[in-house]
Structure 1
């Protein structure tokens, strides 16, 4: 039986020891944060495509890591440590009905504007492609056609603007 010489293993242990002694954010913590944010487990539609690489070494985040959607199509979750010199990790999510575009650039869409005690609607042209929940730019079919508005995609062919 062949044995590995001790002099090859010792340097590896010396390199691994400092990393193990540091205060790190475990990748499983990032997995749990993404699952809580999306409401879906790893591998489910709408959840992370796969677990974060267990070899990832990130410093501990004293203020607590945050999660937010990344990209206009919400195909990734950005997990970050919001401190100076902090880190960020982008976790791809599996496609779901939420991430499939329901409005394409150039579509004529209904814009629903609502606020305290009122609601109205008008037509506009979509200037971007978007999935449900995404914010896209639209150009109203009235007034100054050079101006655009930001609106949230509510469903196929419908966007909304909430006025406080």
Structure 2
């Protein structure tokens, strides 16, 4: 076999790692696999998705926060729809972890950094819910949507392809 043929054969048989996709989805949602707000189940190990040369693109499918769209942006890329596990209790039934107007800490994280900022909740909600918060340190800043991690703490993950 020639070196070029060997490279083509290796490229044709290289597949994306489903566990790595699961981890990327968990980082995007801020919730581990199988927990409320995280992927309902792992990516099917039987799928033979081509290895992606570029970083995966993740976003919310159709603007709803119940399914993550995972895409390989390569020319011959692919896309997956990953349904999320919803809270066992309806939001109205779940105990609120944060109340509207409450002071919160905003955890902002991205690739290689983490920042904590004081904020104020513009909505109330239970752990795992998405609420609007404003940064207390920036008077004119627009409110952002963040996920409630625990009472008093919300998380905003920054990525390259946020909706």
The TM-score range, normalised by the shorter chain, is 0.3 to 0.5
The TM-score, its normalising length taken from structure 1, stands at: 0.46
Structure ranking higher in strand proportion: 1
